[in-house]
Amino acid sequence: MKFNTVKKTIAMVGAVAMLGSLAACGGSDAKSSSSSNSDEKVNLTVWAWDSTVPRTVEGFEKANPNIKVKIDNVGTNTKEYQALDNALQAGSGAPDVAQVEYYALPQYAIGEHLQDLTQYGADKFSDFFTTGTWNSVNVQGGVFGLPIDSGPMAFYYNKEVFDKAGVDATQIKTWDDFYEAAKKIKAVGSYITSDSGDAGFYDSMVWASGGHPFSIGSDGQSVKIDLTGDEGAKKWNEYWQKMIDEGLIDTKTVGWTDDWNRGLNDGSIAALLTGAWMPYNLLSGAPDATGKWRITQMPSWDASKPMNAESGGSSLAVIKTDDAAKAEAAYKFVEYVAHNKDGIKVRVDGGAFPADKETLADKDFLAMTALKDKDGKDVEYFGGQKYNEELAKAAENVLPGYNFLPYEVYARGKYGDFVTAFAGKGTIADGVAAWQKDLVDYGTQQGFKVN
Amino acid sequence: MGVSTHTARQGIQQRHRADWRGWKFMWPFALVFVFVFIVPIVYAIYISFFQKRMIGGTVFAGLANYQRLFADPNFWGSVGRVALFTIVQVPIMLALSALMALALDSMKLHGTKFFRIVTFLPYAVPAVVSTLIWGFMYGARYGLVASINSTFGLNLDVMAPNVLLASIGNIVTWEFVGYNMLIFYSALSTIPHSLYEAAAIDGATEWQIVRRIKMPELRGSLAVTVIFSIIGSFQLFNEPSVMKSMVPGNAISTYYTPNLYAYNLSFVGNQANYAAALAIVMAVITMAIAYAVQLRSMREQMK
């Protein structure tokens, strides 16, 4: 008798608890599709870590008094994707608009979590944005986000160190030139650059080498991975391996650590191959090197033909919803941030590197010589160089047609498990081959038809 | 007839009421217990029978996750790594803790209070913070290791892949040596002083007192510290997770420890179901080892 009561109670509480969690799972369908009444107030939640996005809210709300926008910074890149994955999986708590980097966009588009913006006329913007960024938001014939910034790669270098080594960085046209320069830089006690196994950097360099290791079939379900046979990847693997073997790059300093900033600050890391979003990071990470750094074009495999890639850069995407009014309001905000002149201007003033051709050709933009520091004071970080001129030129050289994997976030997370050449274990080529095998297995498990 | 049945019935009623009165006191605990303990475990077991795919959604997979786990070299590699870590680090740490406790208890030292607090302090520092501090010190370019290298003309690299586990062990030892010391020390302080006096009268040396009186007393608390340490080592997560972005050459893989593997599976690989299976198997392994150790130490104490 006594035991029965205990059992019953536990069963009851357990059942209630289970029901509760089930109810939480089914929450997504509860959202009513309210009729789109123009007088009705719409509240938008936007997830973005880009510090320039909140600057657009004031102007947008003035132009659209019925829409209220709340920006949440739930974490930078992978942290936000984790939160987004959890919310999408739970069916509740997802934002209306999310900042998604180009490399992660196919993952969410193919997972059918994003609204195709073609229905609002976004497909007409193809001439408005740069080739590289427009390419990245077009997935499977749809437009799944609008570019808010871009990261064409450039060659940032510490002129003081290069002068000491007797190297003129503006004359480095090919990777062979870069290799010779690296030797001279090493001779004066610095490294030309550092890489201790950065997956995003690897992807970009394969892209800049003319590689196309990943492709997605028109059905969105078949994936081709060819890192071992791709010419661009092969060229880069061999070249970078040579740099490691001869000790010409710093493999001991991990990117974005305190040590790395110090290396950039004191000149022991003399150059960076990275995206156009770097200037403000240099200003905050290496303030003592103010005036010493310059920017020039990336080395290429062919002196007569510049080859470049994008590194990073984000879009704003509308999360799929049944609420038509909400989706429309969300698109209005995305359009304002990415396509509206005022929206773009307020962000470029805040340090964003634009993704639209008009701003990239804008006279005032190209003439900029100073970054703004924390106190709003002008700092000629690049010694008076018109740095945007170089970066805008870099954007023109981005090779078209590069595809990301539909599970690029996973791929980048696993790169370090296999490519251990930076710690002296094996070669990049071996590591990449093992990485490819894992990517094929994972893709198959996830229901893709791989290779 | 009437009297006896009446009292009997009253007796039953009273027993009944007593049952429910107990539950009235129990329900706040029972509710919390069910929600934070039973429900998550049941839920984890439940989802471990499914597979979620980007193409095709969530499907029932039966025991497929468990089959895959038992054949997963990464998983067993990570279990092997924490097992090795446990075998090497736990004895060193506990020996150090015991030595410290004995030194403190010898009453021959000055400033024991200060010493006690200082050795215990690392335990109060959050693991993430202490790992960051040690990570900075380990730095071969700007850290303490760099200074040692340049002073003595050495070329040490404590973040190299082959010594990394030992470097992590050093951090964990630093964090927990004071905590275990305190457990040992409290066991030692329960020994009545009359025992020492008697030993002194019998002409026992200090070493004999340690061997015959103090060491046997430590055995009981040793069982507790060993079990805590084993469970802690098998759950190694904070230190490698923080170090991952500080160690060059990606020396800490996504499956460095079982916990780190589970974390990366669910958050990087979107494979929460597989991670749930891993968590359950890991819980069973840890419980089995802790149980075996406890059984052994209990048998020893019975002797």
In this structure, the answer to whether residues A139 and A158 fall within a common structural domain is no
In this structure, the answer to whether residues B11 and B85 fall within a common structural domain is no
B60 falls within a domain = no
A13 falls within a domain = no
Within 8 A by CB and 6+ apart from A448, the residues are A221, A222, A223, A406, B54, B55
Collect all residues of chain A within an 8 Å Cβ-Cβ radius of residue B139: 258-259
How far is A253 from chain B, CA to nearest CA, in Å?
6
Q: Where are the alpha helices (DSSP H) in B55-126?
A: 64-70, 73-105, 112-124
pLDDT recorded at residue B106: 85
How far is A37 from chain B, CA to nearest CA, in Å?
35
Q: Which of A12-26, A171-185, B113-127, B174-188 bottoms out in mean pLDDT, i.e. has the lowest?
A: A12-26
B53 falls within a domain = no
In this structure, the answer to whether residues B38 and B91 fall within a common structural domain is no
In this structure, the answer to whether residues B11 and B37 fall within a common structural domain is yes
Mean pLDDT of B217-244: 92
Collect all residues of chain A within an 8 Å Cβ-Cβ radius of residue B42: 14, 18
In this structure, the answer to whether residues A80 and A223 fall within a common structural domain is no
Locate B140 and state its tokens: 């071969």
In this structure, the answer to whether residues B115 and B161 fall within a common structural domain is yes
Euclidean distance between CA atoms B276 and B273, whole angstroms: 5
Q: Mean pLDDT of successive 10-residue segments in chain A (451 residues)?
A: 46 44 38 48 94 93 95 90 87 94 92 93 93 90 94 97 97 97 97 95 97 90 95 97 97 91 96 95 94 97 95 94 93 96 92 93 93 88 96 93 91 94 93 97 94 87
A8 falls within a domain = no
Cα angle, residue B24 at apex, residues B22 and B26 outer, rounded to 5°: 70
CATH number for the domain spanning A104: value is 3.40.190.10
In this structure, the answer to whether residues B140 and B263 fall within a common structural domain is yes
pLDDT recorded at residue B15: 54
B59 falls within a domain = no
In this structure, the answer to whether residues A125 and A189 fall within a common structural domain is no
B92 falls within a domain = yes
Mean pLDDT of B223-252: 92
What share of chain B in percent tops pLDDT 70?
Answer: 93
Mean pLDDT of B135-143: 87
Write down the mean pLDDT value for chain B: 89
Helices B164-188/B73-105 angle, 10° precision: 40
Collect all residues of chain A within an 8 Å Cβ-Cβ radius of residue B245: 254, 256-257
Q: Are residues B250 and A446, on separate chains, in Cβ contact within 8 Å? A: no
pLDDT recorded at residue A36: 43
pLDDT recorded at residue A26: 36
Q: Which domain holds residue A379?
A: 153-310+371-450
Euclidean distance between CA atoms A365 and B159, whole angstroms: 44
Q: Which of B266, B270, B271, B273 would best serve as a mutation to test chain A binding (most A beta carbons within 10 A)?
A: B270
Boundary residue ending a domain (A333, A360, A387): A360
What is the helix, strand, coil percentage profile of chain B, to 5?
75, 5, 20
Q: Which domain holds residue B162?
A: 65-302
Euclidean distance between CA atoms A230 and A215, whole angstroms: 12
Euclidean distance between CA atoms B93 and B178, whole angstroms: 9
In this structure, the answer to whether residues A304 and A426 fall within a common structural domain is yes
| A253 interfaces chain B, CB cutoff of 8 Å | yes
Residues 79-138 of B with CB under 8 A from A: 136
A18 falls within a domain = no
Give the global pTM.
0.85
Provide the 3-class DSSP secondary structure of residue A312.
Answer: coil
Instruction: Examine the pLDDT at B9 and tell me if it is beyond 60.
Output: no
Q: Is B56 within 8 Å of A110 (Cβ atoms)?
A: no
- Total count of domains within chain B: 2
Give the tens place of pLDDT for each residue, A43-102: 999 999 998 999 999 999 999 999 999 999 998 888 899 899 889 878 889 999 999 999
Q: Are residues A197 and B30, on separate chains, in Cβ contact within 8 Å? A: no
Q: Is A173 within 8 Å of A300 (Cβ atoms)?
A: yes
Boundary residue ending a domain (A297, A325, A360): A360
Categorize the per-residue pLDDT at B141 as very low, low, confident or very high, splitting at 50, 70 and 90. Answer: confident
Within 8 A by CB and 6+ apart from A358, the residues are A128
pLDDT recorded at residue A15: 45
Q: Is A43 within 8 Å of A68 (Cβ atoms)?
A: yes
A6 falls within a domain = no
Give the tens place of pLDDT for each residue, A368-412: 999 988 888 999 999 999 999 999 999 999 998 899 999 999 999
What share of chain B in percent tops pLDDT 90?
Answer: 62
B250 falls within a domain = yes
| Nearest beta carbon to residue A5 from set B19, B52, B254 | B19
Residues 47-66 of B with CB under 8 A from A: 51-56
- Total count of domains within chain A: 2
In this structure, the answer to whether residues A356 and A334 fall within a common structural domain is yes
B52 falls within a domain = no
How far is A83 from chain B, CA to nearest CA, in Å?
9
